[in-house]
Structure 1
Amino acid sequence: MADQSIIRITKEIGELQKSSDLSLAVAFRDRDVRNVKALIIGPHETPYEFGFFEFAVKFNKEYPRKSPAVTATTTNSGRCRFNPNIYASGKVCLSILGTWRGERGEEWSAAQGLESILLSIQSLMSTNPYENEPGFEDANQSHDKKNQKDYVAKIRHETLRISIIQRLEDYLGISMNGTVTPAAERELYDLDMDDDLEMEDPSVPWEPFKDICKRRFLWYYDSYLETIKKAKEEVKDGQPFARMPFEGTSNTMDGKFNYTELEQRIRKIKDALDAETEKWAAEGVSPRMKDATVAVNLGRQFEQIKESYKRSDVPHCVELVDGNPFVWNLTYFGRPMTNLDGGMFRIKLNFSPRFPEEQPRVKFLTSMFHHRIAADGTPCYFPNPSRREDVKQHIDAVIEALEEEQPPYDPRTLVHPEAHKLYWGTSDERKLYNRQLRRSVQRSMEEDF
């Protein structure tokens, strides 16, 4: 039975890790598949939008006959209740977990699994989470309407402050005054160490979602700023959070609004991530990296890709920046008979000395108005999760994102708010989008290469 349980858990984790779902991620340490960390990215158009919410999932030996135990760990050390059903203590109230009495047929069954649990939790992160409180239907409607608005307002603020800003500041070692702490300067791996002898440092916390959160922050940076801008019109700095009727003394979300400070901290995180990318380039040319496995691997891949472009009829080309295998420039030529026809765009790929554990940071150096490219040039693309070490598939995925003619609507790709709104808007707005895209294509030939 135990072996069957392990097989089932491993299969479910593997399927989630290979999934194209942009809002869920899972990881386990070593071979301990019974203890899983899960990340849920908050849904679009909710107060949880693009927040990073982490959960600990512990599978018992009777799984899947019995449901696993799930604990929310994004709680500001037990001080923040993010939902009527997600307590500050970490308790997650769901009928399928046996932590809440649901209707008949809503209880756990062996047909359910890790993905269905995460999707159920994600469904709690709704446009109006106040509705999740039991008895909501019988509440006083007029008084309740103000509570709903107040509740949404403070969840939106704390999503930014706790799930995004605090998390990224911890990852980057940024103190409250904006400086980088010495601990953040320490390398997580000894780059001279033989790959087979690499060992984990027990003093370093296990953070499996560090890289994905950094990359997603760069995707959603402009959306975060837009959220702050709108919120500043609704609440004033220093205004205290309203206490909800269902919030108890030790199970609440208390605090004050301060969007001015949040905006400053968001901008400092962006600066720190840009500086980290530049640091990768400097590390790449250091003497000790010359013969490192990752440097040799990137150098080999560069030569292969360069040759493949020469042999094919694809006009794109790649070059190393100053001979550094960790910094590539890709010149992309727009495909004929498309809106990109005639465009020539330079794209920079920065690689970490810890690649592929840390995925490349890609940026368009040539400005381009596109719904899948952020204002700073960061593209939203989906590399194959099972081929993270293959640079060619990263490049192909970037180009595919640019050239996709009829992409399905997906709010999780909202990386350029203005372009996204026009692209998915009315027919007139789509025409305006196409005009702006064509202008950026025309300007691309005029920019200094």
Structure 2
Amino acid sequence: MAAQPSSSAVRALALEYKTIQDEPVEGFRIKLTNDDILFDWEVAIFGPPETLYQGGYFKAQLKFPPDYPYSPPSMRFVTKVWHPNVYENGDLCISILHPPVDDPQSGELPCERWNPTQNVRTILLSVISLFNEPNTSSPANVDASVMYRRWKDSKGKDAEYANIIKKQVAGSRAEAEKDNVVVPMTIEDYCIKSKPPVTESLDMNDFYDDCYDIDDEDSDYVEDDEADGADDSGNENA
């Protein structure tokens, strides 16, 4: 039986979702995959201008664990993305989404991994950073990593890496047209933080009362926090 989400996870996600809708992250659009499921988001990523991914429209799924934000979400691209840090099945490999354990074999410092102070906004900004500068020290896609290094070392003369990405970018535009999405092509358009289309406001109480069965133990924990004067915003660690 799947673990029930904690009340703190529901509260934190509802708050983060509302915040990002009110103050969008440049280069991204988000929505719930299903209006009744707060723990499964659809993310649309626009390729940053002046990069190989310019003009691209890449979709991904962001899935949150029931104990979020104490454990990281997972992110998988559903649009084909040729990138050193994306597995062939679309799974994103990035330090910020790795559990906060000490693993010397990974080559990652504990401070580079997930911790409860991270949030969706920092994840999305990290993804954009990867688009601009892949991490080839521990690649998820070795072939893409080798091609990227050849392309970079040759200053673009070895165009195999660039050509694959250009084909994927061109293919992604058909999906953008299907979704009636205008992909920003210039830095000016990309950096404008426009309000998303007006939708029904997210009623956080709906998620607390109707969609999730919060266990009694977690409820008692929340009440104890309130008695101690703790912040009940559900975003204590954000």
The TM-score with structure 1 as length reference comes to 0.35
Question: What letter matches 1:154 in structure 2?
Answer: N
1:95 is aligned to: 95
Task: Work out whether 1:8 is the aligned partner of 2:12.
Answer: yes
Question: What letter matches 1:111 in structure 2?
Answer: T
Counterpart CA distance in 2 for 1:382 and 1:98 is 29
Deviations 1:309-359 (Å, cap 9, x if unpaired)?
Answer: xxxxxxxxxxxxxxxxxxxxxxxxxxxxxxxxxxxxxxxxxxxxxxxxxxx
Counterpart CA distance in 1 for 2:138 and 2:91 is 20
2:137 is aligned to: 134
Distance 1:2 1:143, change over 3 A: closer
Q: CA deviation at 1:101?
A: 5.0
SS at the partner of 2:116?
coil
2:235 is aligned to: none
Counterpart CA distance in 1 for 2:138 and 2:9 is 38
2:57 is aligned to: 52
Out of 113, 122, 134, which is 1:116 matched to?
122
Question: What letter matches 1:163 in structure 2?
Answer: S
Question: What letter matches 1:117 in structure 2?
Answer: I
Distance 1:157 1:53, change over 3 A: same
Counterpart CA distance in 2 for 1:74 and 1:146 is 28
Distance 1:135 1:25, change over 3 A: closer
Counterpart CA distance in 2 for 1:6 and 1:160 is 35
Task: Work out whether 1:31 is the aligned partner of 2:36.
Answer: yes
Q: Superposition pairs for residues 196-275 of structure 1, below 5 Å?
A: 210-211=179-180, 213=181, 215-216=182-183, 220=185
Q: CA deviation at 1:121?
A: 1.3
Task: Work out whether 1:145 is the aligned partner of 2:149.
Answer: no
Question: What letter matches 2:42 in structure 1?
Answer: K
Counterpart CA distance in 2 for 1:387 and 1:106 is 36
Counterpart CA distance in 2 for 1:381 and 1:163 is 22
SS at the partner of 1:34?
strand
Q: CA deviation at 1:134?
A: 1.6
Task: Output the aligned Cα RMSD.
Answer: 3.4
Structure 2 gaps of 5+ residues are 100-105, 140-145, 201-238
SS at the partner of 2:75?
strand
Q: CA deviation at 1:7?
A: 0.9
Distance 1:383 1:142, change over 3 A: closer
Q: CA deviation at 1:21?
A: 3.3
Deviations 1:399-422 (Å, cap 9, x if unpaired)?
Answer: xxxxxxxxxxxxxxxxxxxxxxxx
Q: CA deviation at 1:68?
A: 0.8
Q: CA deviation at 1:104?
A: 3.1
Out of 36, 49, 69, which is 2:74 matched to?
69
Q: CA deviation at 1:19?
A: 1.5
Counterpart CA distance in 1 for 2:91 and 2:154 is 27
1:250 is aligned to: none
Counterpart CA distance in 2 for 1:124 and 1:9 is 24
Counterpart CA distance in 2 for 1:70 and 1:56 is 6
Q: CA deviation at 1:53?
A: 1.2
SS at the partner of 1:36?
strand
SS at the partner of 1:105?
helix
Out of 171, 178, 201, which is 1:162 matched to?
171
Task: Work out whether 1:107 is the aligned partner of 2:110.
Answer: no
The percentage of counterpart residues that share the same residue type is 24
Out of 24, 42, 48, which is 2:47 matched to?
42
Structure 1 gaps of 5+ residues are 76-80, 172-209, 224-370, 374-379, 390-449
Task: Work out whether 1:125 is the aligned partner of 2:131.
Answer: yes
SS at the partner of 2:111?
coil
Return structure 1 stretches of 4+ with deviation > 3 angstroms.
Answer: 141-144, 146-149, 380-389
Question: What letter matches 2:6 in structure 1?
Answer: A
SS at the partner of 1:63?
coil
Counterpart CA distance in 2 for 1:5 and 1:31 is 15
Counterpart CA distance in 1 for 2:192 and 2:123 is 27
SS at the partner of 2:37?
coil
The TM-score with structure 2 as length reference comes to 0.63
